[in-house]
Amino acid sequence: MKRVSTVGAAAICACAMSAIPFQALAQDALSTRTQLTHATLMDGRGRADVDFSAYALPANASAPGETFEGTLHVSGKVGTRTIHLEPGFLSRTQVAAARTFPDDFDYDFVQDGDVLLPVRRGYIVTSHPYWDVVLEPGRVWSEPGDRGYSRAALPFALVQKHMNCTHYGVMTFLFKRGGAISHAAVQIGSETCKYFKLDMWGMLDAHYSPHPVANRDAVIAAYRQNQARRLPERPIAQLAVDYPGTDPAKLAIGESHARTLYGLVVDGVNYVSSCPTRHGDYSYCGVLPFPSYSTAKSAEAALALMAMEQRHPGTTELKVNEFAPASGCNAESWDGVTFRDLLDMTTGHCDSTAYMADEDAPKVQRFFYATTEPQKAAFSCSAYPLRARPGTTWVYHTSDTFLLGDALNRYLRRLPGEAHADIFRDVVDADIYKPLDLSATARVTRRTADAAAQPFFGYGLQFNRDDMARLALFIGQDHGRIGGRQILDPGLLDLAMQRIDGQRGSVVTSYPEFRYQLGFWARNVASIAGCASPAWVPFMSGFGGISVVMYPNGVVYYNVSDSGTATAFDWGPSAPVARAIRDYCH
């Protein structure tokens, strides 16, 4: 994979895609394009993968002469190349299915200036046996040599069904408003997925049905509102200029081939890396949807419980067996287990107290591959025997976090006027994500595939880099407040953010410098940062190598990678960089 490079020479990157100016060109200017040309797209030739720059806005582009509004349908065969596969995670049947493209790719789009907007965002469940789809805003432009057609590029992701593994692609095609359209070139060359990496490319059959989209104004308004709230971005190399003495190179942790993106947020500015792929840099890094994996335990489950505690004091101490989603939780062994115990992962139920032994055991696949609420709840309530008094022993279980979401949903629906409420839609999104104007993709969660449609809670979200940066600022710097309104219970949040001396949370087995409390991790970085006394820093963590670190001085560091090695998770090198910007040792 190509080494991570800076995102550009300019000091500040435009937040809105439409902010990039087009050059004025004579209509008879000669085309300089050598890949994915007009001829290639029209006759469907060129079936090899190319550098992703071929899918990007070129220097000689001009404003689009056509407007895309209506339905795009693509289908066909693709070429694939397996880069890495861990057979213990996927069957042969799954791998064979993953090497095909969804035939029901059939979605509506509208255009806002030079931006192509999908009407549906977030997870789109397909009929494909392996892939679901996530669509992101793309670009539309004109360039010499396209013979009166406009050119569109659409970033998208294919996501493993019921899981979080995400593979990043771009599609490009030529079109005219009357419905004329070329073939659609499609390519995938990177992912955030520890156990399965593949390239995909091809020329697909495309059909364009122009028609007015009923909710076009709402789609455009939502996009513009999100763009207005995005943090200004600067390339990561600019950090050394703005804050002399910092070394941005230290922020590129883990193996280069496994990196998706990383960045540092300082005083409201997001210093960002590029998004490297196996075929050059990804051209739509700002909207790349990376998977939450277990950062959802903090960014969804913890925030849900803290928001409910703020709304309804005493929620954290409710007993799980009073809101049991499965009969196993009505057993005597669950007596005394509270909602907070679920978030703390101190229910006392486990097979082993060794670090991650339960989470990595083969039987946990029954939980992850279960598709209905009863199946996941039954595992959560019955898979592990009681071995310790509730609240005393930490053992990591994603099933505990799912159980918390299920129990919170049932409690919420017992409240007056809330019979049809949903814990994600009406609490997490309504109280936090929507007021923050996070992207439309971030505001959709994975759910069970049954009538219950229970949010996964322990995983199953997608964020772009701006979503995660602003969410981390809300949690850390803004102390859980939006527009002066306290959304999260301040007492619980202070505990999670390590602001209360002597209450650091559960010791993480075999790792004395780490703690876990209320869905958040914490690490003592004193020896790394050169502090004379303990310096506890809270962070979120996700499968493969995802970290979101909230330093006490307001600096946020995030890294998305997928090798699963210790170096991918070790965000320690960012500690002295953050301290060089503003001291946080006490």
More confident residue, 383 or 32: 383
State how far the Cα of 186 lies from the Cα of 198, in Å rounded to an integer. 14
The percent of residues above 90 in pLDDT, for the chain, comes to 93
Domain extent listing, the chain? 17-225, 231-293+485-581, 312-451
Summarize the confidence of residues 20-28 as an average pLDDT.
Answer: 40
The band of 32, judged by pLDDT with boundaries at 50, 70 and 90, is: confident
**CA-closest candidate to residue 67, choices 170, 171, 149, 154:** 149
pLDDT for the residue 46? 74
State how far the Cα of 373 lies from the Cα of 43, in Å rounded to an integer. 48
Mean pLDDT value across the chain:
94
Other CB atoms within a 10 A radius of the CB of residue 583 amount to 12
Residue 171's alpha-carbon distances to 49, 54, 58, 174, 377, in angstroms, are 12, 11, 15, 11, 39
Q: Which of left, alpha, beta for 380 (phi over 0: left; psi -120 to 50: alpha)? A: alpha
Summarize the confidence of residues 421-432 as an average pLDDT.
Answer: 98
pLDDT for the residue 30? 53
Q: What are the tens digits of pLDDT across the range 187-231?
A: 999 999 999 999 999 999 999 999 999 999 999 999 999 999 999
pLDDT for the residue 586? 81
The band of 500, judged by pLDDT with boundaries at 50, 70 and 90, is: very high
State how far the Cα of 303 lies from the Cα of 188, in Å rounded to an integer. 34
Cα end-to-end distance, the chain, whole Å: 41
Q: What are the tens digits of pLDDT across the range 368-381?
A: 999 999 999 999 99
CB 515 within 8 A of CB 529: no
Given a cut of 80, whether residue 447 has pLDDT beyond it is yes
pLDDT for the residue 31? 63
Q: What are the tens digits of pLDDT across the range 81-103?
A: 999 999 889 999 999 999 999 99
Q: What are the tens digits of pLDDT across the range 302-356?
A: 999 999 999 999 999 999 999 989 999 999 999 999 999 999 999 999 999 999 9
Given a cut of 70, whether residue 272 has pLDDT beyond it is yes
CB 321 within 8 A of CB 332: no
Is the pTM higher than 0.85? yes
CB 581 within 8 A of CB 246: yes
Summarize the confidence of residues 25-36 as an average pLDDT.
Answer: 64
Within 13 Å and on the Cβ side, how many CA atoms surround 207?
10
pLDDT for the residue 585? 96
Given a cut of 60, whether residue 16 has pLDDT beyond it is no
pLDDT for the residue 47? 73
Structure tokens that stand for 47 in this block: 């079936």
Given a cut of 60, whether residue 156 has pLDDT beyond it is yes
Q: Which residue has the tokens 């965002």?
A: 121
pLDDT for the residue 489? 98
Given a cut of 70, whether residue 8 has pLDDT beyond it is no
Other CB atoms within a 10 A radius of the CB of residue 158 amount to 23
Could you write out the three-class secondary structure of 241-297? HHCCCCCHHHHCCCCHHHEEEEEEEECCEEEEECCEEECEECCCHHHCCEECHHHHH
Torsion angles phi and psi, residue 149, rounded to 5: -80, 150
Greatest alpha-carbon pair distance for the chain in Å reads: 80
Q: Where are the alpha helices (DSSP H) in 415-521?
A: 423, 465-475, 490-496
The percent of residues above 70 in pLDDT, for the chain, comes to 95
Other CB atoms within a 10 A radius of the CB of residue 512 amount to 9
The band of 488, judged by pLDDT with boundaries at 50, 70 and 90, is: very high
Most confident of 14-18, 41-45, 171-175: 171-175
